Structure 1
Amino acid sequence: MTEIRTTENAAELQLRLDRLLDDGAEAAGHPFNPQAVGFEARDSDGTFLGGIYGWGQLGWFFVKLLALAPEARKRGVGGKLLAKAEEHARSEGLSGVYLDTYVFQAPAFYAKMGYEEIGRLPAVGDHPQRVWFAKMLGEVRS
C-alpha cells in the first residue's frame, strides 16, 4: 500500500525530485542542464537597486525573479535588466525569454518591453491572476 505523507525536509525533497526529473529528461534525449545567471543593478554610489535571475534551458531563458527597490522604479532600471537577460539569451543561442507575473505587479511593463501574453491562471476569490509572457528573440525554430 502506498503512503503519502508530509516531508520533514522540503529542500531535500526538492533535490530528489529534481534528480528524478533530470534523469527522465536525459533518458528522453532532452537533458535539462539549466544554466543559471543573474545580473544586478547598482547606482553610481554602489547602492543595490535590484536584479534579474533566471536560467537557460531547452532553448529558452526563464526569468525566475526580477525585482527592484522602490527608488529604482520608473527609472528604466527594469528595462535595462530585462535587456541584459535578452542579450545573454541571444549570446547563448536561445530562442526567447519567458516569465510570469501577477496582475498587480508588472504586466503592462512586460507588454511595453515587447513581451506577448501566452497564458493566465484564472482569478479565484481574492487571489490575483497570474500571467505568463514570452518574447521570441529571433526566428522560430522547429
Structure 2
Amino acid sequence: MSQGIINFNNDKVPDLEPIEKEVKFFVFVRNDDQEVIGGIRAICFWNTLHIELLWLSEECRGKGVGKELIDSAEKFAVEHGCEKAFVETTSWQAKPFYEKMGYHHIATINDRPKGHASHYLTKDLK
C-alpha cells in the first residue's frame, strides 16, 4: 500500500522529494546533572520541518529554553533544505508559544480530542 501512494505521488509530481530523503532528528537540552529537561522530535521532508513533539520540564519553562530548542531545530531544518515549518498542538498545550516564535495559526479542528481542539500552525523559514 505504501508503495502505491509513493508511485501515485511520483506520477503526479515527478520532482517530489523521495521518501528515503526524510531526515528524522532530535534536539535535547540537559541540566547540569545531564538529565534531559526538554527536547524536540522532528522530521524534514517535502521542504518542510515537521515538529512532531516538543516537551519542556517545569524547571526550564519561561527561561528561553523552548526558544533555543526551536531555533536549533529550525537551523538544522534550513541546513537540510527546509523552507517551511509545520506543527500541530492542542488547546491545552503550546499554541501561544509557537505564535510567539513566529508561527501563524492556519486551522483548528474543534472537539479533537473530545472537549478540546487541535491547532495547526506554520512558519516560513526563509
Shared fold, TM over 0.5? yes
How far 1:103 sits from its partner (Å)?
1.2
* TM-align CA RMSD: 1.9
1:52 paired to 2:40: yes
Number of the residue aligned with 1:116: 104
CA distance in 1, matches of 2:30, 2:113: 39
When normalised by structure 2's length, the TM-score is 0.85
Structure 1 partner of 2:78: 90
Contact 2:112–2:118 (CA<8 Å) still a contact in 1?
A: no
Paired amino acid for 1:98: F
Measure the CA separation in 2 of the matches of 1:26 and 1:101: 30
Rounded to whole Å, the distance in 2 between the matches of 1:36 and 1:27 is: 25
Structure 1, unaligned runs of 5 or more = 1-16
Distance 1:137 1:71 in 2: 29
How many residue pairs were aligned? 122
Give me the whole-angstrom Cα distance separating, in 1, the residues matched to 2:97 and 2:113.
25
Query: Which one has the bigger strand percentage?
Result: 2
Of structures 1 and 2, the one scoring higher in RCO (CA 8 A, sep 6+) is 2
Give 1:45 deviation, angstroms: 2.2
Output the CA distance in 2 between the equivalents of 1:80 and 1:103: 23
One-letter amino acid matched to 2:72: K
Query: Does the 8 Å CA contact 1:120/1:130 hold for their aligned counterparts?
Result: yes
2:99 counterpart SS class: helix
Distance 1:47 1:111, change over 3 A: same
Higher mean C-alpha displacement, 48-57 vs 69-78: 69-78
